[in-house]
């Protein structure tokens, strides 16, 4: 069975793991402290420090990439002003928030899914599905076109005892509509309402000509970010936790040596050392008893060096950036800033290519909605979705370059490059209005001066 195979697949397991790591549920939280026991086998011990610290650099990387590519609203460019106004209404702030979630799911799971639909009021909407909810059945090996798709998701319902329980639904998406199942006992059972169309006008149902499940990939191979950094993230958590353990555990900083209070064999020695921090030894003559203390110093500098190396490795392997690195000290120039963003730019370039393919598919559904809503046919119009990457800049240098470009470049080009401009068309319109207002003010002033001169017989 395709669904059952996908539910237990390594791909989905990794996607679920990525979601856990993003939420802070790391493997270190289930770590047990084990030592070699008297019989030579590993045993779990309870009476020693076992810190489980999480320094979630993985979540920082996911958020970093998400905000870098979609932290700011997209710029939509098309030649027809009427079409542009309609697109801006569709891609409003609520949709931008959903697109940001879409990007987060894509980085986290390698791919995320966008579902265009009509709600019960007939309004055009977009829904976001995470990677681990959608089982795709592809037509080709390159994963460019879907044959159909299944969505597996839970629903919390009330039971007969007044409590709640989870039931799992499976929706099969095809060009003929949606078939609804309940997943129970590893089997699919048809729901009472077994079929629904994608849209309704009154009681009449209609379906899209294309499958309304659109993939938005993090990269062409749909490899999630967690695969590149999990081992490093686990090592970071472990070193940090071990350092805290060594600062708290007596066996690591102070060991008691009991002389002539019975000897001990090697397995008992290892277990007592790790568990109690006590070693019992017998001297050769067996005469003098006593207690000595061995001191072991914990070198914090060594741990700090390892932690710094691990964090740097996470940033490099995850293709992020570290805003606290040396290149950002003082007043960094634009070249240093751009150098810091090299890795994340390379990663996001591939992500943007995949997202552009997704937006091209989404455009078809938006155009069909505009036709059905009576706004006109814009299917032949080209649209460019531009990601405004959220990058640190040296504003003073950029503004100075804009000023120096006056008379060399067009006013529109200069304004578009100014760091304070967020809406180019609005800014150009405002500049023109300011010029007109200034011109009217100058004309009014000149008129007053001419009248004044006339009243005074032109003496002045």
Q: Report pLDDT digits (tens) over 5-16.
A: 999 999 999 999
Q: Kindly report the average pLDDT of the chain as a whole number.
A: 85
> What's the average model confidence in pLDDT over 323-351?
73
pTM, 2 dp: 0.79
Q: How far apart are CA 323 and CA 318, in angstroms?
A: 15
> What's the average model confidence in pLDDT over 198-202?
87
Q: Residue 233 has which token pair?
A: 């993230």
Which residues lie across from 196 on neighbouring strands? 178
Q: How far apart are CA 367 and CA 361, in angstroms?
A: 10
Lowest mean pLDDT, pick from 8-17, 87-96, 327-336, 408-417: 327-336
Q: How far apart are CA 399 and CA 414, in angstroms?
A: 10
> What's the average model confidence in pLDDT over 297-308?
84
The pLDDT, as a whole number, for residue 94 is: 94
448: pLDDT strictly greater than 90: no
Higher pLDDT, 321 or 328: 321
Higher pLDDT, 288 or 311: 311
Q: Give the model's confidence band at 310: pLDDT under 50 very low, under 70 low, under 90 confident, else very high.
A: very high
> What's the average model confidence in pLDDT over 41-59?
88
Q: How far apart are CA 173 and CA 167, in angstroms?
A: 20
Contact 66, 107 (CB under 8 A): yes
The pLDDT, as a whole number, for residue 144 is: 92
Cβ-based neighbour number of residue 251 at 10 Å = 21
Lowest mean pLDDT, pick from 9-23, 104-118, 185-199, 273-287: 273-287
Q: Give the model's confidence band at 271: pLDDT under 50 very low, under 70 low, under 90 confident, else very high.
A: low
290: pLDDT strictly greater than 80: no
Q: Give the model's confidence band at 289: pLDDT under 50 very low, under 70 low, under 90 confident, else very high.
A: low
Supply the DSSP string of 340-365, one letter for each residue.
Answer: HTHHHHHHHHHHHHHHHHHHHHHHHH
252: pLDDT strictly greater than 50: no
Among residues 227, 224, 210, 19, the alpha carbon closest in space to that of 133 is found at 19
**Rounded to whole angstroms, what are the CA distances from 343 to 51, 303, 317, 325, 333?**
34, 27, 9, 14, 18
The pLDDT, as a whole number, for residue 283 is: 63
Q: Residue 384 has which token pair?
A: 């460019």
Lowest mean pLDDT, pick from 58-67, 75-84, 360-369: 75-84
The pLDDT, as a whole number, for residue 115 is: 97
Alpha-helical (H) ranges within 45-136 are 57-70, 81-90, 93-109
Q: Residue 74 has which token pair?
A: 């997209």
Q: Give the model's confidence band at 259: pLDDT under 50 very low, under 70 low, under 90 confident, else very high.
A: low
Instruction: Please tell me the chain's helix, strand, coil percentages from 3-state DSSP, rounded to the nearest 5.
Output: 45, 20, 30
Contacts of 301 (CB under 8 A, 6+ apart): none
Contact 324, 392 (CB under 8 A): no
85: pLDDT strictly greater than 50: yes
Q: How far apart are CA 209 and CA 221, in angstroms?
A: 27
Higher pLDDT, 289 or 15: 15
Lowest mean pLDDT, pick from 261-270, 398-407, 415-424: 261-270
- Angle CA 357–144–205, to nearest 5: 85
Residue 193 CA, distance from chain mean position: 36
Helix axes 300-317, 226-248, angle to 10 degrees: 170
Lowest mean pLDDT, pick from 119-128, 129-138, 293-302, 360-369: 293-302
Q: What percent of the chain has pLDDT over 90?
A: 51
The pLDDT, as a whole number, for residue 332 is: 60
Q: How far apart are CA 239 and CA 104, in angstroms?
A: 28
The pLDDT, as a whole number, for residue 295 is: 60
Q: How far apart are CA 213 and CA 218, in angstroms?
A: 16
218: pLDDT strictly greater than 90: yes
Look at the chain and count its residues: 460
Burial of 269 (0-12, 13-18, 19+ CB in 10 A): middle
Contact 18, 108 (CB under 8 A): yes
Q: Give the model's confidence band at 128: pLDDT under 50 very low, under 70 low, under 90 confident, else very high.
A: very high
**Rounded to whole angstroms, what are the CA distances from 317 to 19, 66, 312, 321, 327?**
19, 17, 9, 10, 19
Which residues lie across from 189 on neighbouring strands? 182
355: pLDDT strictly greater than 80: yes
Pairing of strands 278-281, 254-259: parallel
305: pLDDT strictly greater than 50: yes
150: pLDDT strictly greater than 70: yes
> What's the average model confidence in pLDDT over 409-433?
80
Alpha-helical (H) ranges within 255-341 are 266-275, 300-317, 334-340
State whether residue 168 is helix, strand or coil.
strand
Sign of CA dihedral 368, 370, 375, 377: negative
The CA-to-CA distance between both ends of the chain, in Å, stands at 98
Higher pLDDT, 445 or 243: 243
> What's the average model confidence in pLDDT over 200-219?
92
The pLDDT, as a whole number, for residue 288 is: 60
> What's the average model confidence in pLDDT over 380-385?
92
Contact 150, 173 (CB under 8 A): yes
Lowest mean pLDDT, pick from 207-221, 244-258, 390-404: 244-258
Higher pLDDT, 234 or 78: 234
458: pLDDT strictly greater than 60: no
């Amino acid at each position: 069975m395709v669904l059952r195979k996908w539910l237990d697949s390594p791909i989905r397991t990794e996607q679920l793991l990525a979601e856990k790591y993003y939420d802070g549920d790391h493997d270190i939280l289930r770590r047990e402290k084990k030592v070699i026991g008297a019989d030579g086998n590993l045993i779990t011990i309870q009476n020693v420090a076992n810190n489980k610290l999480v320094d979630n650099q993985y979540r920082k990387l996911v958020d970093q990439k998400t905000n870098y590519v979609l932290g700011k609203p997209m710029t939509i460019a098309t030649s027809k002003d009427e079409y542009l106004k309609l697109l801006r209404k569709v891609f409003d702030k609520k949709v931008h928030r959903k697109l940001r979630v879409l990007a987060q799911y894509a980085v986290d799971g390698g791919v995320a899914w966008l579902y265009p639909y009509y709600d019960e009021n007939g309004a055009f909407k977009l829904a976001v599905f995470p990677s681990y909810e959608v089982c795709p059945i592809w037509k080709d090996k390159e994963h460019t076109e879907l044959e159909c798709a299944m969505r597996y998701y839970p629903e919390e319902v009330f039971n007969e005892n007044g409590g709640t329980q989870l039931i799992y639904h499976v929706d099969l998406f095809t060009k003929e509509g949606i078939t609804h199942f309940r997943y129970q006992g590893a089997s699919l059972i048809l729901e009472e309402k077994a079929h629904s169309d994608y849209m309704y006008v009154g009681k009449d149902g209609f379906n899209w000509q294309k499958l309304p499940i659109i993939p938005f990939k993090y990269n062409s191979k749909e490899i999630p970010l967690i695969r590149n950094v999990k081992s490093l993230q686990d090592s970071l958590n472990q070193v940090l936790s071990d350092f805290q353990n060594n600062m708290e555990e007596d066996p690591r900083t102070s060991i008691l040596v009991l002389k002539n209070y019975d000897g001990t064999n090697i397995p008992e020695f290892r277990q007592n050392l790790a568990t109690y921090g006590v070693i019992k030894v017998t001297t050769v003559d067996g005469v003098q008893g006593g207690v000595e203390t061995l001191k072991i110093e914990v070198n914090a500098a060594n741990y700090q060096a390892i932690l710094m190396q691990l964090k740097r490795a996470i940033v490099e392997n995850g293709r992020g950036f570290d805003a606290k690195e040396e290149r950002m000290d003082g007043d960094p120039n634009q070249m240093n800033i751009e150098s810091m963003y090299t890795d994340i730019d390379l990663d996001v370039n591939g992500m943007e290519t995949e997202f552009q393919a997704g937006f091209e598919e989404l455009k078809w559904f938006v155009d069909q909605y505009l036709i059905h809503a009576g706004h006109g046919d814009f299917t032949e119009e080209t649209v460019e979705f531009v990601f405004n990457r959220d990058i640190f800049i040296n504003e003073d240098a950029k503004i100075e370059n804009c000023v120096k470009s006056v008379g060399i470049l067009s006013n529109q080009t200069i304004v578009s490059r100014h760091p304070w401009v967020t809406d180019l068309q609005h800014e150009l319109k405002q500049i023109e209005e300011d010029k007109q207002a200034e011109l009217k003010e100058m004309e009014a002033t000149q008129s007053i001066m001419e009248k004044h001169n006339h009243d005074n017989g032109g003496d002045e």
